[in-house]
Amino acid sequence: MIRVQNLVKTFGSFTAVNDVSFQVEAGEIFAFLGPNGAGKTTTIKMLTTLLHPTSGSIQLDGLDPRTHQNQVRQRFGIVFQDPSLDGDLTAWENMEIHGVLYHVPHKTRRQRSEELLKLFELWDRRDDQVKKFSGGMKRRLEIARGFLHTPKILFLDEPTLGLDPQSRNQLWSHVKRVNEAEKVTVMLTTHYMDEADRVAHRVGIIDHGKLVTQGTPAEIKEQTETSSLEDAFLKLTGSTIRDESAGSADQMRQFAKMWQQQRR
Amino acid sequence: MNAIYILWLRELKRYTRSRAQIIASLGQPMLYLLVLGFGLNPVFKRAGYGSYFQFIAPGVIGMSVLFSSIFSGLGLLWDRQFGFLKETLVAPVPRIQIMIGRTLGGCTVAVIQGLLVLTICLISGFRPASWIAIPVAVGFMVLIAMLFAALGVIFGSSLQDMQGFQLIMNFLVLPIYFLSGAMFPLTNQGKILGFITALDPLSYGIDGMRSVLLSAATFRPAFGIGIDLSVLIGVGTILLILGAWRFSKIEA
């Protein structure tokens, strides 16, 4: 379903993704793991038509995101790592926009929005502006929105960041459900190794832009002679802490915060 | 088509929900209109140009349409920052539709803003040459709004962060406003200023609005309605095409 070959992305002299190749079969749940700044999000951005690869090839359902942008976009859904909601609109309106943009028929849209908002316990707050939500609620809304349409491939970029255990649990059981019932291929990233161990059929570990290893969680544990995926991960990627320089988006967010405070 | 509609509706909702901002954005035009309009009125009259208040009213309307439409295009920067832009960029909708929806929304908001200022003008004593002129003037507002919303999209797609915003304000938006003849007659200007003002698309918009709103006895058009219309439509189309192209190239 996803086929990546010798993928490279450089920003100036910095190589974010360096010669990465992997495959995700249809119906599989693939966890893409790596420390901060390893190149996970950059890879996902290239897969989802948001960035152009420097070199290498990508195929999603047999299509190249560079040449068949629209067809590729019809095939995937994504929950982004950082916020992507419109804070001035209500939770319901955010769902509506998503549904319309993804061509979900009117009736299905209302029905599913209601189900999902109830599932993620946002139904009572559906008519409140999203900017009044807490971080966890925004995250839940973002995930609920991601499930509104049924794509062939679902990308989840650190979906559990900032979620409480209840919501995490809800999320993973829902992911498993759509994967089994609707055969959705899932590619996810997370920093919680136990989650990856529990949910993923296969795991790829990336560090410094290079794919270090891939295989089933059991294979990786066996290969590294460790008992948990977390130990295997640390053995493969070392225990030094990575620095991630703030991108322009982060800087802008900071600027906006400053500006909003001034306005009050 | 639905995508265009929902994004248009989004712009409108965002506008109507920011009441404080609506009122704040009327402050500047009111200052120009009431303070300059009445303050310079005696001098202007003595120079034989008629009422300055009547003269500046279309200019101030043009200004509010300009600001509002160009900022709607630059709203891309905010959406980029709050992340909503990505949500629309990965959607299975041709980028051109997303751009059209946003631009039409920004345009509608700018025209509403123009109508609000027009109402203030009428309340404070502005009288058009004939009431039929008002719908024609609204037509000019639409053209101005389209043109500058597209210009806003071009810059909004090209800039990565807010640092560029001040730059655009000081080196693009304000010069466009001051050089448009919104505040002074474009006829009988020196060669250099005359040349620069003729390069400013807003000059044609305001000249057009004045030609229809003011009586022929008090206002001599600098270009004439025919030229005004063709420049606005021509430049507007080019900028829309450029904007659509820039928008299709956005990476996140």
| The pLDDT of residue B192 | 93
User: pLDDT value at position A158?
Assistant: 92
- Find the residue in B nearest to A85 (Cα): B84
Tell me the pLDDT band of B139, cut-offs 50, 70 and 90. Answer: very high
Q: A86–B84: do the CB atoms touch at under 8 Å? A: yes
pLDDT confidence of residue B179? 94
| The pLDDT of residue B168 | 87
**pLDDT at residue B230 tops 80:** yes
Least CA distance to B162: which residue of chain A?
A252
Pick the CATH number of A2-75+182-263 from 3.40.50.970, 3.40.50.300, 3.30.2350.10, 3.30.365.10: 3.40.50.300
Contact A59, A3 (CB under 8 A): yes
Nearest chain A residue (CA) to B160: A248
Query: A75: distance to nearest CA of chain B, Å?
Result: 8
- Residue B171 is encoded by which pair of tokens? 């080196």
What is the C-alpha to C-alpha distance for residues A244 and A37, in angstroms, rounded to an integer? 6
Rounded Cα gap, residues B226 and B136, in angstroms: 13
In 10 A of CB A162, how many CB atoms?
Answer: 13
Task: State which H helix or E strand residue B148 sits in.
Answer: helix B133-158
Q: Does B88 touch chain A (CB under 8 A)?
A: yes
pLDDT at residue number A264: 42
From the CA of B127, how many Å to the nearest CA of chain A?
A: 37
**pLDDT score of A253 more than 80:** no
Q: So where are chain A's domains?
A: 2-75+182-263
Q: What is the pLDDT of residues A118-177, one digit of tens each?
A: 988 999 999 999 999 998 899 999 999 998 998 899 999 999 888 889 889 989 998 999
Alpha-carbon distances, residue A42 vs A6, A10, B31, B113 (angstroms): 14, 10, 49, 41
Instruction: Tell me the torsion sign for CA atoms A223, A226, A227, A233.
Output: negative
Asked whether A88 and B15 are in contact (CB, 8 A), the reply is: no
Nearest to A252 among B6, B7, B161 (CB): B161
The first and second tokens of residue B235, run together, are 């430049």
Which residue in chain A is spatially nearest to B159 when comparing CA positions? A248
Model pTM greater than 0.80? yes
Q: Is the pLDDT of residue A263 over 50?
A: no
Lowest mean pLDDT among A19-33, A218-232, B154-168, B177-191: B154-168
Whether A226 and chain B come into contact, CB under 8 Å, resolves to: no
Smallest Cβ–Cβ distance between A84 and the set B18, B83, B160 belongs to B83
Is B13–A88 a contact, with Cβ atoms under 8 angstroms apart?
Answer: yes
Contact (CB<8Å) B252/A73: no
Which residues in chain A are contacts of B97 at CB distance < 8 A? none
Residue B200 has a pLDDT of 95
Residue A261 has pLDDT above 70, yes or no: no
Average pLDDT, chain A: 89
Q: Which domain holds residue B243?
A: 2-248
Query: Does A243 score more than 70 pLDDT?
Result: no
Structurally, chain B folds into a number of domains equal to 1
Query: What is the per-residue pLDDT for A262?
Result: 47
